[in-house]
């Protein structure tokens, strides 16, 4: 039976008040957070109860083939658009009424972008068109980010008519357009051109942001070349609070835009630079980079920030000498009392996939280690044999962990290059991928005002016990992801309901959606965790057919004003199960 129970919580639920879980020590509660800015005027924290429940779910568009990644809702036609990534198609569903949502089923249709681009003379062959990566809607426009084949060539944004679904224009942008969004005023489309290298790092495009003016499809490109070594702005880089690690890469090649959020007035944008663990702030009037904010690192040795670091030892949340690189994927922006805050899903990501084929000299010059091939991800246990020179620099505490059982830090995956960069002659802290949390940042100061600490692992451990920290594919193995990014928060969206702001965060590996009231950015409160997945069966096509959603990737909120029946909704694209799920947002006023 799927876990679909509604749960309401009033007030903040932090690591300090969640029940202790499983074996091992949990550490001491952290100090209470400082009071922060007030939420919306006239609305207090207990004026309403909010919960989500599954309302409709599509048939799978393919198990474990990167289907149903990113979702968008077009309010005029009542259509849900879902990126069916590797196929080069977008599917659309009829969600024009509650009845249609409840019977979502198979798509109403699909749009083959490769065929469309050939038919309209954009390309001569479908073979040069790669995956569709993102979709967004505004007015009568549907915009789709499409990468080239190979991905290191420049891609496109394809514009379609929302009403007719006909082709309007294909606009060339940068390499690997990975995400796009309309500005709130609808005048521009911003595109995060990730510019990932190819395997072996023989081609490494620069990351950039394309700004498309909707009225005439003109393009301005915001680049990071001024931050290159020797460039006029290199000294502005907050190097102590970020990570640069590309093989032979300039700064502009190293920075890979992942996700974009836009301020409410459409004049400023925020770009997650995931691998670098930084956020770029863009001026959308002058089309320039205002600054780059380093996110710093999460200290997992602090009580309240406990994590499980080893597989197959059950629930074992403890503090450890580990620093987390926030490395957010999805981000979102909102304004409280005139200040803009950015909310981040702190997934974590490495460059491991692109290092295969890099020669030993180039590998080691870039700060990685070479053991048969170029690598970055490593464990203390493996470092003894695979990187003995590094192992010799470990502190006594870490050296002891490297020789101990699997239930200790010796089995956790960390970044070799970042750990070398951020320690001195003696390695006293490991630098791991991701924060296993969501966080809120004051963009005026660049400071973090909130982090959900160990909430995600504690909440899932309390719910599922030893079946927490599962993966979204493969065997049924609880605790499988504890040594590598844990529940892995990836997708995120914000929604306004009756003057309050809620964050919805998808856990890519464990599955499910965390809901928090973030109206006060300094003191968010936990609302609900709902996982539309059967955690008692192995992730596979049969489980999906039986109703399990796996790998939530893209989330979008539909306000009451935009929905077909004045009820707010949350739409989730589940990449691994290939399903699109609509959650009804239930609101109960208390006064």
**Mean of the per-residue pLDDT values for the chain?**
92
Which residue is it, tokens 């399903």?
Answer: 579
pTM of the model: 0.93
Q: What is the pLDDT of residue 85?
A: 77
Does 3 have pLDDT greater than 90? no
Are the C-beta atoms of 273 and 257 separated by less than 8 Å? Answer: yes
% of the chain beyond a pLDDT of 90: 88
What stretches of 277-425 show up as alpha helix (H) in DSSP? 352-355, 360-365, 380-386, 388-391, 396-402, 416-422
Going by pLDDT thresholds of 50, 70 and 90, the confidence category of residue 15 is: very low
Tokens of 90: 């977008």
Are the C-beta atoms of 528 and 7 separated by less than 8 Å? Answer: yes
In degrees, rounded to 5, the angle at the alpha carbon of residue 260 between the alpha carbons of residues 472 and 564 is 75
Report which of residues 10 and 519 the model is more confident about.
Answer: 519
What is the C-alpha to C-alpha distance for residues 433 and 273, in angstroms, rounded to an integer?
A: 14
Going by pLDDT thresholds of 50, 70 and 90, the confidence category of residue 406 is: confident
- Which are the contacts of 92, defined by CB distance < 8 A and separation ≥ 6? 79, 80, 81, 82, 107, 108, 109, 110, 111, 165
What is the C-alpha to C-alpha distance for residues 165 and 470, in angstroms, rounded to an integer?
A: 39
pLDDT one-digit tens code per residue, 344-362? 999 999 999 999 999 999 9
Q: Are strands 89-94 and 109-112 parallel, antiparallel or unpaired?
A: antiparallel
Does residue 225 come out as left (phi exceeding 0), alpha (psi in the -120 to 50 range) or beta? alpha
Please name which of 167, 176, 248, 240 lies closest in space to residue 208, comparing C-alpha atoms.
176
What is the C-alpha to C-alpha distance for residues 277 and 468, in angstroms, rounded to an integer?
A: 26
Q: Which of 22-26, 257-261, 422-426 bottoms out in mean pLDDT, i.e. has the lowest?
A: 22-26
Are the C-beta atoms of 197 and 234 separated by less than 8 Å? Answer: no
pLDDT one-digit tens code per residue, 493-550? 999 999 999 999 999 999 999 999 999 999 999 999 999 999 999 999 999 999 999 9
What DSSP string runs through 187-245? SEEEEEE--PPPTTSS--PPPEEEEEETTTTEEEEE--GGGSTTSTTGGG--GGGS---
Among 3.90.1150.10, 3.30.465.10, 1.10.3720.10, 2.130.10.10, name the CATH number for the domain at 48-349+434-589. 2.130.10.10
What is the C-alpha to C-alpha distance for residues 427 and 425, in angstroms, rounded to an integer?
A: 7
Q: What is the pLDDT of residue 27?
A: 38
Q: What is the pLDDT of residue 255?
A: 98
pLDDT one-digit tens code per residue, 108-143? 999 999 999 999 999 999 999 999 999 999 999 999
- Could you give the 3-state DSSP secondary structure of residue 253? helix
DSSP-assigned letter for residue 411: G
pLDDT one-digit tens code per residue, 71-100? 999 999 999 999 997 888 999 999 999 999
Q: What is the pLDDT of residue 45?
A: 52
DSSP-assigned letter for residue 105: B
Tokens of 99: 């009845």
What is the C-alpha to C-alpha distance for residues 266 and 291, in angstroms, rounded to an integer?
A: 17
Are the C-beta atoms of 455 and 437 separated by less than 8 Å? Answer: yes
What is the C-alpha to C-alpha distance for residues 328 and 345, in angstroms, rounded to an integer?
A: 5
Please name which of 123, 126, 108, 119 lies closest in space to residue 167, comparing C-alpha atoms.
119
Please name which of 560, 555, 551 lies closest in space to residue 533, comparing C-alpha atoms.
551
What is the C-alpha to C-alpha distance for residues 436 and 440, in angstroms, rounded to an integer?
A: 14
What is the C-alpha to C-alpha distance for residues 491 and 494, in angstroms, rounded to an integer?
A: 11
Name the strands in the sheet holding 339-345, side by side, starting at the edge strand that comes first in the sequence. Answer: 331-336, 339-345, 438-442, 447-451
What stretches of 238-375 show up as alpha helix (H) in DSSP? 251-254, 352-355, 360-365
Q: Which helix (H) or strand (E) holds 409?
A: none
What is the C-alpha to C-alpha distance for residues 589 and 185, in angstroms, rounded to an integer?
A: 31
Does 405 have pLDDT greater than 80? no
Which residue is it, tokens 């090649």?
Answer: 253
Does 14 have pLDDT greater than 50? no
Q: What is the pLDDT of residue 46?
A: 63
Q: What is the pLDDT of residue 411?
A: 92
The partner residues of 81 in beta bridges, in order of sequence, read 72, 92
% of the chain beyond a pLDDT of 70: 92
Going by pLDDT thresholds of 50, 70 and 90, the confidence category of residue 320 is: very high
pLDDT one-digit tens code per residue, 467-492? 999 999 988 888 999 999 999 999 99
What DSSP string runs through 39-79? -STT--TTSEEEEEEEEEEBPPS-TTSS-S--EEEETTTTE
For 198-205, what is the mean pLDDT? 97
The rounded radius of gyration (Å) of the Cα atoms in the chain is 23
Give residue limits of the domains in the chain: 48-349+434-589, 350-433
Does 4 have pLDDT greater than 90? no
Q: Are strands 257-262 and 218-222 parallel, antiparallel or unpaired?
A: unpaired
Does 18 have pLDDT greater than 80? no
What is the C-alpha to C-alpha distance for residues 444 and 442, in angstroms, rounded to an integer?
A: 6
Cα 484 versus chain centre, distance: 15
């Amino acid at each position: 039976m799927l876990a679909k129970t509604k749960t309401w919580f009033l007030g903040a639920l932090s690591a300090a008040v969640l029940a202790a879980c499983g074996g091992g020590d949990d550490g001491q509660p952290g100090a209470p957070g400082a009071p922060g800015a007030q939420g919306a005027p006239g609305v207090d924290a207990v004026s309403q109860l909010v919960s989500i429940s599954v309302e409709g779910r599509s048939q799978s568009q393919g198990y474990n083939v990167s289907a149903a990644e990113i979702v968008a809702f077009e309010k005029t036609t009542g259509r849900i658009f879902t990126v069916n990534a590797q196929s080069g198609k977008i599917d659309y569903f009829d969600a024009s009424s509650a009845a249609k949502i409840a019977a979502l089923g198979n798509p109403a249709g699909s749009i083959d972008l490769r065929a469309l681009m050939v038919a309209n003379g954009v390309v001569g062959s479908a073979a040069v068109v790669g995956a569709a990566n993102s979709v967004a809607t505004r007015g009568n426009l549907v915009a789709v980010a499409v990468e080239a084949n190979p991905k290191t060539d420049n891609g496109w944004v394809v514009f379609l008519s929302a009403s007719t679904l006909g082709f309007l224009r294909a606009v060339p942008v940068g390499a690997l357009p990975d995400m796009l969004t309309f500005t709130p005023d609808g005048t521009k489309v911003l595109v995060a051109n990730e510019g990932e290298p190819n395997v072996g790092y023989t081609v490494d495009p620069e990351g950039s942001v394309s700004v498309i003016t909707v009225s005439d499809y003109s393009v301005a490109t915001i680049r990071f070349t001024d931050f290159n070594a020797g460039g006029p702005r290199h000294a502005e880089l907050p190097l102590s609070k970020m990570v640069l690690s590309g093989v032979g890469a300039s700064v502009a090649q190293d920075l890979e835009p992942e996700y974009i959020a836009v301020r409410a007035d459409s004049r400023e944008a925020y770009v997650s630079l995931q691998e670098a663990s930084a956020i770029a702030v863009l001026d959308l009037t002058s089309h320039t980079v205002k600054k780059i904010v380093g996110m710093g690192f999460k200290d997992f040795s602090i009580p309240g920030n406990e994590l499980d670091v080893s597989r197959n030892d059950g629930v074992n949340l403890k503090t450890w000498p580990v620093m987390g690189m926030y490395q957010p994927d999805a981000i979102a922006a909102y304004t409280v009392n005139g200040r803009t805050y950015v909310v981040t899903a702190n997934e974590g990501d490495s460059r491991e996939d692109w290092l295969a084929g890099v020669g030993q000299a180039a590998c080691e010059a870039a700060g990685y280690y070479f053991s048969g091939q170029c690598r970055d991800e490593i464990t203390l246990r493996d470092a003894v044999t695979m990187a003995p020179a590094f192992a010799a620099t470990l502190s006594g505490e870490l050296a002891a962990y490297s020789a101990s059982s699997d239930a200790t830090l010796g089995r956790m995956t960390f970044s070799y290059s970042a750990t070398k960069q951020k320690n001195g002659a003696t390695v006293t802290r490991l630098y791991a991928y991701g924060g296993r949390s969501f966080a809120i940042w004051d963009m005026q100061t660049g400071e973090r005002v909130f982090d959900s600490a160990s909430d995600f692992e504690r909440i899932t451990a309390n719910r599922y016990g030893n079946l927490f920290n599962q993966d979204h594919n493969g065997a049924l193995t609880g605790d499988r992801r504890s040594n590598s990014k844990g529940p892995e928060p990836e997708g995120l969206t914000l929604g306004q309901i009756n003057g309050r702001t809620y964050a919805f965060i998808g856990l890519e590996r464990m599955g499910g959606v965390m809901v928090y009231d973030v109206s006060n950015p300094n003191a968010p409160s936990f609302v609900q965790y709902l996982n539309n997945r059967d955690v008692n069966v192995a992730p596979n096509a049969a489980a999906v057919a039986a109703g399990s959603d796996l790998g939530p990737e893209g989330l979008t909120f539909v306000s009451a004003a935009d929905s077909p029946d004045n009820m707010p909704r949350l739409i989730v694209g589940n990449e691994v199960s290939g399903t699109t799920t609509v959650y009804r947002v239930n609101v109960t006023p208390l006064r």
